[in-house]
Structure 1
Amino acid sequence: MGTAKAAGPDRARIAAEQAVACPLLEGIDLSGAKGVLVLVTAAKGSLKLSESRLAMSTINAYASPDAHVIYGAAYDDSLGDEIRVTVVATGLSRPNVRRQNIQVVQGGLRTGTDNVAVGLPPLGGMEYGTANTNVPSVWRTNRTQASERVSALASGGMDDVEIPAFLRKQAD
């Protein structure tokens, strides 16, 4: 992101060039940007169409021909005879960044406060039941298990309103 203000006869071009050269955009080449947002702000009576065109042509000279450039204008009477150009570049790539390979660590999963390894079955040995996958799992589960859970909770002193509704419905 870069922003700059300028005043005078060539204020649009100067503000656009300073916005591209802003310290926030230091070391960033706009020619690699996939998108560029540009906002030109000036006092209501002082912004001319020719100035906004000049600011956009200046920024388009720095941007890639493939970049999607979006232009916006705003009025701010506190600027007086100044113009402010704000540039936001998006989709910048980093060609020099080397990606690190992710290492998969084999072994047990460590959980708990004592960091004890918990053995997990190997992924290849797991079998998933694919029978009746068109039927919801609530209908496939054994209702006796749900009724046993509800009975255990009720015998433990819980009222019917304290037992979760989904368990009561599965038991019915």
Structure 2
Amino acid sequence: MARFALEAVTAGDFDDPCRRSNHYRIDATSSATPAQVWEELHGRRPLHWCSSLRACEWSPGSPKGVGSTRRMSMAPGVWVYESYFLWQEEPDHLECAFTVTECTVPGIRRFGERYRVTTTSEGTHLQWDFLIEPALAGPLQTVLRRPTRATIARIGADTRSHLARLKQRT
């Protein structure tokens, strides 16, 4: 299976107003604790509730911190390879971000994600940012935005539903 190298995403890219057309965000809340939500994102079965994702595998021996790697399957034969460049765990604020280093489909220049998990008065808030920059000319980028938005919307609906059912452990 061929792999295509991608350019790196950096932490500042998620908040760069020049990249807004390639930025997508999911917001979700839960009555569970931030630690529980974080575990759902990074535990033994990360993102298992997302119907758009087929498999998520941490690299053997991955420390779950800066430098950690994992691979994600989104369809048969479609894999992305992720490398974490940000990982912060504080009591009321958990945050990490990765860049996709390689993908098994062409046409993507840069792809990265950032998770921010914070405490709220009702429990926990997840802010999940995606930066997906196509390697195609302007008009073709517009064509690809519709299926990208649909996929992100499906992941968002699955995530909001799952986190809403997740209850705080006592």
TM-score of the alignment, normalized to the shorter chain, above 0.5: no
Bigger share in strand = 2
TM-score (structure 2 length as normaliser): 0.22
Flag the structure with more relative contact order, 1 or 2, with Cα contacts below 8 A and sequence separation at least 6. Answer: 2
TM-score (structure 1 length as normaliser): 0.22
Larger Rg belongs to:
1
Bigger share in helix = 1
